[in-house]
Structure 1
Amino acid sequence: MDLRHSLRGTGVAIVTPFTASGEVDYTALENLINFQLNNGVNYIVTLGTTGETPTLSKEEKKDIILFTYEKVGNRAPVVVGVGGNNTYELVKDLAGLPLDKAAAVLSACPYYNKPTQEGIFQHYKVLAGASPKPIILYNVPGRTGRNMEASTTLRLAHEVPNIAGIKEAANNLVQCMQMLKGRPDHFLIVSGDDDLVLPQLACGMDGVISVAANCLPKLFTQMVNAGLAFDFAKAKALNDQLLEAYSLLFAENNPAGVKGFLAELGLIQNTLRLPMVPLTHESQQKVAAYLKQLS
């Protein structure tokens, strides 16, 4: 499955907005989808870690997926996050979630268990065999506690049908270059590190699944598009405007940072589900000051 054309550019790991009482805020979610697509984002990734999926019920996940399909329509592809550390429970999820309209499934490496590289390989091999849609690997060792090495990624890319790409968030440019050198032609490689996107595009990556695109979609996608066009003078000038935002977005945790930005923009209520809490007052003031000077 070749995703390098359909998912080239900027994907957004969309947040899940909540009302003040903690329910999913579907009005805000629709506004967010429109805000991002109207400002140049190429595709929507729902139920990623940024969407606070560990705190969502199975019914909420199904409802969010269906709502996202409906509101995105034919304007852009939708990628659905289906990840966890119980391989066979994920097989059940792949069968039970409404994935018929998904372009792909994004699945994070198993967290906490800290499997070996062979365990990671076998985990994804089972998921790929069970998934009705192509699998995009997600390597994020800062959250999972285990790095998926380039050799494992390339083994999956070459040996396992239905493994179609990777979101790479190991904050390691050398590892990215190793994957880019050895990948099959069809294999999508996108960034999961907003602050490294510019040099990663220079190395040949296909785009990004971004947190920053939630709240700064126009500026961020302009930077990505310039990088994909190898106009690095323009891309650097745009990225320079974003550097402080990258720091603020992840100063405390994700998605508290991006929800702080979105609340400041008036797009959502600044509500998270425990154990996540909103930004401190001091950090929120810094977000407000940044957005004020940006405008």
Structure 2
Amino acid sequence: MEKFQGTGVALVTPFHSDGSVDFEGLANVLEFTGQAVDYFVVLGTTGESATTTPQEKSQILQFVKEHNPKKLPIVYGIGGNNTLKVAEEIANADLDGVDAILSVSPYYNKPSQAGIIAHYKYLADRSPLPIILYNVPGRTMSNLSAETTLALSKHKNIIGTKDASGDLDQCRKVINSMSSDFFLTSGDDLLTTDLVELGGIGVISVLANGFPQEFSEIARTALKGDFEKSREITTSFDKINDLMYIESNPVGVKEVLNQKGVCGNQVRLPLLEASTSLKAQIAELLP
């Protein structure tokens, strides 16, 4: 659990204008974020995992392993709505040097809570690494209820959950009843302080790509019990956080990185790079 306390950055995957993976850009992102964050999350939603090929996924993960001078823990995203296929991807992945798997709740199928439990148990029974649940109803159209999360927390190979439900009451129920060997971390940047105050251990952050020092400080001050300072820093991101999602993630944060000279702003279809309007709004808010 200590490996995943604080701030994990949900790494973007930089692309060239021709659509190929920009590994030089990725090296820049790793260097830019790695001096401040506590661990890397590779090929989650922000990494555009839905539109990267199996070969690219393997290359990206290997690249992160090789460009991790501080030896930060690595969480690797492997999830989907076909349970057998996800299990196969886990079995075939080179997980040497990876600390845990982040696996999103099944989307599109709209499974029952019992189906979600069966899905995760099937994966956890077969995974060589511990699994972190990922609850993001805004994308999956299904919610891991507190009861479901707590049922899954009893599995010895399921160690925590990233919660992006925005439901603080639900998170409170999980935190108040979970065992000491299970954790909850925020999947919503601006709720980090609130969830740490409830008993969460940090955040897996989108904005940490563009603001690694600041977001690491939000989690660290909250974990030290200085919630006033943590909220003060969080409030300064209210306006720019909204811009990260109006044209879908990671369009906004890639534009932040582009304007900071870290990597380009290219994304893969069906996403489009930031509009002229969004670029201007972001530019107004950057120092």
Instruction: Show structure 1 runs of 5+ residues with no match.
Output: none
Q: Conserved in 1, the CA contact under 8 Å of 2:11 and 2:209? A: yes
The answer for the alignment partner of 2:244 in structure 1 is 249
**CA deviation digits over 1:171-203, x for unaligned, max 9?**
100011000001110102100011211211111
Distance 2:236 2:276 in 1: 23
Give me the TM-score of the superposition, normalised by structure 2. Answer: 0.98
Distance 1:280 1:202 in 2: 37
The answer for the alignment partner of 2:60 in structure 1 is 64
The answer for the alignment partner of 1:11 in structure 2 is 8
- From 100, 106, 114, give the equivalent of 2:102: 106
**CA deviation digits over 1:92-135, x for unaligned, max 9?**
10111111211100000001000000000000000001111000
- From 10, 19, 32, give the equivalent of 1:22: 19
Distance 1:233 1:182 in 2: 26
**Where does structure 1 differ by over 4 angstroms across 4 or more consecutive aligned residues?**
none
**CA deviation digits over 1:234-281, x for unaligned, max 9?**
112211211112111112210111111111111111111100111211
Whichever residue aligns with residue 140 of structure 2, its letter is: T
The answer for the alignment partner of 2:215 in structure 1 is 220
Q: Conserved in 2, the CA contact under 8 Å of 1:157 and 1:165? A: yes
Give me the TM-score of the superposition, normalised by structure 1. Answer: 0.95
The answer for the alignment partner of 1:31 in structure 2 is 28
Distance 2:61 2:263 in 1: 19
Aligned length: 287
Measured on the aligned residues, the alpha-carbon RMSD in Å equals 0.9
Instruction: Show structure 2 runs of 5+ residues with no match.
Output: none
Deviation at 1:65, TM superposition (A): 0.7
Q: Identity of paired residues, percent?
A: 42
Relative to 1, partners in 2 of residues 1:234 and 1:254: Cα closer, same or farther, differing over 3 Å? same
Distance 1:137 1:73 in 2: 27
SS in 2 for 1:6: helix
Distance 1:11 1:63 in 2: 21
Q: Conserved in 2, the CA contact under 8 Å of 1:220 and 1:242? A: no
Deviation at 1:74, TM superposition (A): 4.7
Distance 2:53 2:145 in 1: 32
Q: How does 1:124-273 map to 2 (within 5 A)?
A: 124-158=120-154, 160-273=155-268
Deviation at 1:75, TM superposition (A): 2.5
Q: Conserved in 1, the CA contact under 8 Å of 2:135 and 2:161? A: yes
